[in-house]
């Protein structure tokens, strides 16, 4: 595998991000309803959107929300969206995206990173749990709330 890195989302790379493909059945897991509702309440300056690039090819996208004053605790430091192109899933791109987002959250002084996901056999729950997210309950919409403590970020490989 080549070198993974992130760049800011821009007009130059947005079309490639929009063209990312999914595996069959994954469409239902893209954006939990809570995110759509909260997005309307959030200020744009609190979003962190990055494109994941393998060498020179766009292979993924990650969006996070960082706001120490967010009204709902699950949105204080939250992995909002992660999309990895279908042909690159299972090759470390998603893990790289989560680690990069967790590092950004820690650098901004947050103690944890949260993520919401729709429960289901083909959903991302197992992926997030393998990366250290601990399910702590359900939202009012039935989404799983996972929390990743950031205290030990310096000890990860």
Give the domain CATH number at 63. 3.40.630.30
The CA-based angle 44-50-55, given to 5 degrees, is 165
Among candidate residues 36, 111, 107, the one with its CA nearest the CA of residue 73: 111
Domain residue limits at 135: 4-10+31-151
Domain count, the chain: 1
- Give the tens place of pLDDT for each residue, 37-51: 445 445 778 889 899
* The pLDDT of residue 11: 81
Residue 156 lies in a domain: no
- As a dihedral over the C-alpha atoms of residue 144, residue 95, residue 134, residue 117, rounded to 10 degrees, the angle is 0
Residue 23 in domain: no
Residue 91 lies in a domain: yes
Question: How far is residue 21's CA from residue 25's CA, in Å, rounded to a whole number?
Answer: 12
> Which residues of the chain have a pLDDT value below 70?
1, 22-42, 152-157
Q: Has residue 18 been placed in a domain?
A: no
Q: How many CB atoms lie within 10 A of CB 104?
A: 18
């Amino acid at each position: 595998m080549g070198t993974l890195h992130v760049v800011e989302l821009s007009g130059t790379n947005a079309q490639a991000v929009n063209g990312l493909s999914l595996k069959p059945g994954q469409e239902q897991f893209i954006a939990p309803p809570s995110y759509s509702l909260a997005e309307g309440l959030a200020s744009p300056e609190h979003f962190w959107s990055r494109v994941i690039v393998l060498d020179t090819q766009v292979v993924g996208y990650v969006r996070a929300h960082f706001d120490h004053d967010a009204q709902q605790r699950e949105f204080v430091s939250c992995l909002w969206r992660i999309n990895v192109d279908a042909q690159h899933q299972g090759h470390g791109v998603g893990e790289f995206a989560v680690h990069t987002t967790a590092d950004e959250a820690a650098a901004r002084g947050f103690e944890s990173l949260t993520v919401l996901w729709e429960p289901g056999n083909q959903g991302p729950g197992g992926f997030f749990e393998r990366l250290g997210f601990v399910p702590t309950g359900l939202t009012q919409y039935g989404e799983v709330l996972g929390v990743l403590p950031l205290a030990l970020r310096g000890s990860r490989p």
